[in-house]
């Protein structure tokens, strides 16, 4: 299971598609098609390649370093080994190029929002690309790849992707309920309790604690918070469901029509809840050393955000300006 978790980096490119959202023609149509289409195509290709290898070579005799090319070699097709090796080299090169498309654009957005240094938001006037962020990402990736073992990097990329997907699933629930002032605090509490319950349940399963204890964790800290989220979603279907309004209220009807213009995740909180649980469970199967490295990097990011990002973020600066305007108007009135 631990080795399977390391292979999770094979689908970490999902967020790479999302980083190009500013460059698509119709984001509401193109992004869902791009993400779901790429997931479907790559999943089919992964399954077909795995089926081909296991049909040629017994699974316990597969060469882990070069499974496909060695499978052809063991079946007397050495000429195919050269073609497969060239294809693998081309695929790795294209993957690196794709990474250099997404990471600089992520830094560009963060620099534009003030979360990191504004130099990362620089765009080349000729190529219209974030050249400074691209150079920094390239140098950083080269140094890290040269100094750190490939297995360690694979585990770090996997846990990073799992954590990012967990945050996205949680944000889907958060954004769907944030306009509900009545239940918003309960939603936050239930969401945090649900994520904590996923961790407790996953750890109890991975460590091998008694089955009844896992059931207690699952029911008390996972199933009940998720159930409360579901009940809240059913208590105010007009605010959350992408359906036509029948209340006759013009404001509510305009809000629903506006929401129908955008792609909404269906079956909330079921789908994001399942995503959180499975992401957490897979992450808990990684080695404890990987978790230590992840916690260290996460702590470094939090410190940087507290010291620099929070103070210079556009949202924080905008709030400060609004507060100053309110104070100045109050002084003028007096």
Query: Hey, how many other C-beta atoms are within 10 angstroms of the C-beta on 107?
Result: 22
* CB-based contacts of 284, cutoff 8 Å, min separation 6: 199, 202, 203, 205, 206
How confident is the model at residue 183, as a pLDDT? 65
How confident is the model at residue 242, as a pLDDT? 42
Q: Which long-range contacts (CB under 8 A, 24 or more apart) does 126-129 make?
A: 129/104
The DSSP code sequence of 231-261 is HHHHHTHHHHS-S---S--HHHHHHHHHHHT
- How big is the chain, counted in residues? 334
Cis preceding linkage at 201, omega within 30: no
How confident is the model at residue 231, as a pLDDT? 62
- The DSSP call for residue 121 is G
40, burial (CB in 10 Å: exposed 0-12, middle 13-18, buried 19+): exposed
Given a contact cutoff of 8 angstroms between Cβ atoms, the answer to whether 28 and 263 are in contact is yes
C-alpha pair distances (Å), 264 with each of 55, 61, 167, 234, 268: 41, 46, 17, 16, 9
Cα distance between residue 213 and residue 219, in whole Å:
10
How confident is the model at residue 257, as a pLDDT? 45
How confident is the model at residue 103, as a pLDDT? 82
Task: Walk along the chain (334 residues) in steps of 10 and give the mean pLDDT of each run.
Answer: 59 71 79 83 85 84 78 80 81 76 85 88 86 88 85 82 85 76 70 76 72 62 63 51 44 48 72 84 85 91 90 77 57 47
pTM for this model (two decimals): 0.72
How confident is the model at residue 300, as a pLDDT? 93
How confident is the model at residue 37, as a pLDDT? 86
- The DSSP call for residue 13 is T
Query: Hey, how many other C-beta atoms are within 10 angstroms of the C-beta on 95?
Result: 13
């Amino acid at each position: 299971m631990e080795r399977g978790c390391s292979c999770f980096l094979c689908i970490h490119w999902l967020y790479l598609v999302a980083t190009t959202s500013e460059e698509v023609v119709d984001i509401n149509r193109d992004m869902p098609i791009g993400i779901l289409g790429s997931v479907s195509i790559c999943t089919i290709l992964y399954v077909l390649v795995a089926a081909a290898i296991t049909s040629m070579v017994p699974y316990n005799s597969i060469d882990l370093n070069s499974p496909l090319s060695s499978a052809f070699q063991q079946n007397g097709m050495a000429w195919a080994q050269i073609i497969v090796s060239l294809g693998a080299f081309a695929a790795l090169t294209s993957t690196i190029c794709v990474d250099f498309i997404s990471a600089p654009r992520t830094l560009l957005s963060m620099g534009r929002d003030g979360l990191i240094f504004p130099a990362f938001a620089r765009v080349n006037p000729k190529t219209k690309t974030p050249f400074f962020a691209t150079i920094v990402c390239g140098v950083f990736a080269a140094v890290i790849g040269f100094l750190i073992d490939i297995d360690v990097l694979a585990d770090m990329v996997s846990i990073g992707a799992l954590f990012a997907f967990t945050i996205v699933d949680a944000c889907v629930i958060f954004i769907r309920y944030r306009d509900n002032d009545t239940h918003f605090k309960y939603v936050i509490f239930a969401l945090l309790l649900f994520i904590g319950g996923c961790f407790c349940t996953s750890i109890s399963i991975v460590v091998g604690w008694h089955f009844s204890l896992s059931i207690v964790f699952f029911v008390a800290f996972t199933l009940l918070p998720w159930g409360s989220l579901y009940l809240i979603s059913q208590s105010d279907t007009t605010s959350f469901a992408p359906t036509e309004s029948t209340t006759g209220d013009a404001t509510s009807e305009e809000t629903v029509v506006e929401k129908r213009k955008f792609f909404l995740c269906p079956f909330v909180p079921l789908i994001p809840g399942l995503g959180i649980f499975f992401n957490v469970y897979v992450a808990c199967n990684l080695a404890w050393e990987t978790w230590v490295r992840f916690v260290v990097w996460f702590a470094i990011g939090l410190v940087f955000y507290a010291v620099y990002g929070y103070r210079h973020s556009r949202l924080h600066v905008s709030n400060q300006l609004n507060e100053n305007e309110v104070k100045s108007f109050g002084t003028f009135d007096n």
